[in-house]
Amino acid sequence: MPKSAELTLEEGISIYKMLTKKFSIEELEGKIEETPKAVVTQEEFNKFFEEEILSKVDPTKTIFPDKNNFSRIILRNSEGNWLLDYDTNPKNSHFWYQNSRVQVILRGKFLLQDEEFQSIMKSLVESHFKMKEFKPPKTMCFSV
């Protein structure tokens, strides 16, 4: 009978890195349970964003990077992991979010094309973060 193949630590790390490039930690751990919806209203999207993203923000980890610029804010979760970085100053206006901690969760819930996702995120940013002049870049997410 052939000896069963055992995985070495190096092989395991290699497989793990490959999997985390393709899937989020939440997906790999089975934390995304619901089947994605094909149609979503702005209200549903905003509510889910507040419940699943903003609820994870730890106010004690909020950062105002520049001493004299309180328009730029970096929000982190309780582990200190970056979630959102935004600036409401029209000169520096931006809204960035961490891919695996924000976009993957939202896309795991709602089945949206890129253009639909950008549009619904733009509306959320304009209403929730009061960034009326906000013009999103091609992509608003960044991975670290």
For 112-131, how does the pLDDT look when each residue is reduced to its tens digit (9 = 90+)?
Answer: 888 888 889 889 988 888 88
Is the predicted pLDDT of residue 51 greater than 70, yes or no?
yes
- How many Cβ atoms are within 10 Å of 97's Cβ, its own excluded? 21
Mean pLDDT score, 75-99: 86
Is the predicted pLDDT of residue 2 greater than 70, yes or no?
no
Provide the pLDDT for residue 144. Answer: 40
Over 63-116, what HEC string results? ECCECCECCEEEEEECCCCEEEEEECCCCCCEEEEEHHHHHHHHHHHECCCHHH
Write down the pTM of the prediction: 0.65
Share of the chain above pLDDT 90, in %: 18
Is the predicted pLDDT of residue 35 greater than 70, yes or no?
no
Provide the pLDDT for residue 32. Answer: 57
Best CA proximity match to 32, nearest among 23, 45, 22, 44? 23
Mean pLDDT score, 84-110: 84
Distance CA 16, CA 50 (A): 30
Distance CA 69, CA 85 (A): 13
Provide the pLDDT for residue 1. Answer: 41
* 3-class secondary structure, 8: coil
